[in-house]
Amino acid sequence: MQKCDILVRNVRVLTPQYDIADDQYIAICDNKIVAVGNDSQCLFASDTVIRGNGKLAMPGLVDSHVHACQYLLRGRLADEYPMVWTRILVPFESSLTERECYISGKLTYLQQIKSGITTGIEAGGNHMHSVAEAAIESGIRAVLTRSTMDQGAFIPASWQQTANECISRTEALYRDYNGAGDGRLQVWYAMRQIMSCSPALLEAIAARSAELGVGVHAHLAEHKDEISYCLQNFKKRPIEVLEQFGLANERLVCAHNVLLSERDMDLLAQCGARLCHCPRANLGNHGIPKTPALLNRGISIGIGSDGASGCNLDLFEELRLLRFTVQASQGLAIFDPVVLTIKELLNMLIWGGARAARMEDRIGRIQEGYLADIILINVMQPHIWPTSSLINVLVEGVRASDVTDSIINGKVVMRNREVLTLDEEKILHDAETYRQEIFSRINV
């Protein structure tokens, strides 16, 4: 018998080919998966054994676009008319203190872990040192970015930054937190959106991100004003502007990607950018993406929650929403009942997420040598079982709340839906206290 740190036994496993292997074991040493195989042939022993009977083990999910600093806005954005950005988001986010961002970060990571998310990619927030501390404590894997912008109307003085300040603040975050939390944290550059970044800032982000070899996360092709700004100022579309400034490359990870022309999609494919859709947020503001056309070009697409906009972080729900809206808009139009297959959708959720985090060689597979980021789903429930195809039901019926256990970087962070790293009761109490304080202070 060989000793390992965590041993999951008698569990169904989602294979890298998106099939189900029954009655498997998964052995974890340190932060890696060291063996997967038939349980009857398991030669491992461990002090921490998780019984997987009635459960499915799958790679932990990647929330490819989340705003950890917007969490205390929950419930405040429904039925609002434009401009939500200027009337609510800017006054709210710009007023947050370090402590409030820390609590907001903890609430986000608590909810992410309870939703089966093991990696969160931050869209860019305030006081990210505080959010980084929250990420380290929670045990989650995270890509952190700062909200980066040096131009635009309606930005209060407290939030205005020069291009140099934008760069130096991200570099301070990189210096202090890249690789922190036993390697769980990455720090990247961000562009809030093209219209919020001056040409000098775009040039600096391109140069410094290349030197450090880190990703650049951006909102792209999200709304009409952005396209209009690019056409007016550069006579180019957004992706062409990024190309001009040396930002259209394989380190670009862009969210939304709805308003794309055929040529835009070709350029995204050529430059190797990684995309992520935020289906619910897109439907409210921007429309339905041309997902089949993007996939046909070989572009990788992950799924993001866009944070507070939808109140929950259920990426299974986001995937279903994408499936049905794309089917209704692009399948019905050509009488094609299968414009996105179940395996294409699963591949977006898992592989597309791993690619969005720029970690596809380390996460997104339950396979020997990969990092131990694994979630267990309780299959023995009437909305899932019995089924002729668990793969199909994974997309059609499983919910975030069906996730019972979560292992991140080889540590058990949730057991039977109890998050072991965070004090849920205290976080909810503190978050409500700070929420009241923020709304008594700002006028939105």
Residues found near Zn ion in the complex (CB under 5 A)? 123, 306
Report the nearest approach of Zn ion to the CB of residue 192 (Å). Answer: 9
* Closest distance to Zn ion from the beta carbon of 70 (Å): 9
- Amino acid letter, residue 333: A
To the nearest whole angstrom, how small is the minimum distance from the Cβ of residue 279 to Zn ion?
13
CB 147 to Zn ion: min, Å: 10
Name which of 31 and 64 has its Cβ closer to Zn ion.
64
In the structure encoding, which two tokens stand for residue 323, read together?
């499936």
Q: How far is the CB of 304 from Zn ion (least distance, A)?
A: 8
CB count within 10 Å of CB 83 equals: 12
**For the stretch 368-379, what's the b/e string if a residue is b when 16 or more beta carbons lie within 10 angstroms of its beta carbon?**
eebbbbbbbbbb
- Closer residue to Zn ion in complex, CB, 219/355: 219
H or E, element range at 393: helix 390-396
Measured from the CB of residue 219, what is the shortest distance to Zn ion in angstroms? 5
Q: What order do you get walking across the sheet with 117-122 strand by strand?
A: 61-66, 117-122, 141-144, 185-187
Q: Minimum distance from CB of 168 to Zn ion (Å)?
A: 24
CB of 216 vs Zn ion, minimal distance in Å: 14
- CB closer to Zn ion out of 306 and 373: 306
223 token code pair = 């709304």
Cis bond before residue 128 (omega within 30° of 0) = no
- By beta-carbon proximity to Zn ion, the closer residue of 123 and 422 is 123
Q: For Zn ion, which is the closer residue by CB, 50 or 107? A: 107
Give 308 or 349: the residue with its C-beta nearer to Zn ion: 308
Smaller CB separation from Zn ion, 123 or 348: 123
Tell how many helices (H) and how many strands (E) occur in the chain: 17, 20
Helix (H) or strand (E) holding 7: strand 6-14
Q: What is the DSSP letter of 192?
A: S
Give the count of beta carbons closer than 10 Å to the beta carbon of residue 425: 8
Strands (E), 344-394: 374-378
Q: How far is the CB of 223 from Zn ion (least distance, A)?
A: 11
Per the structure block, which two tokens stand in for 240? 């062409």
Q: Judged by CB, which is closer to Zn ion: 252, or 398?
A: 252
CA separation for the pair 166, 150 (Å, rounded): 7
Q: Give just the sign of the alpha carbon dihedral 376, 380, 384, 386.
A: positive
For Zn ion, give the closer residue by CB, 257 or 330.
257
Sequence-distant (6+) residues with CB within 8 A of 46 are 3, 4, 5, 6, 7, 27
E-state strands within 96-203: 117-122, 141-144, 185-187, 189-191
Q: Which residue is nearest to Zn ion (CB)?
A: 123
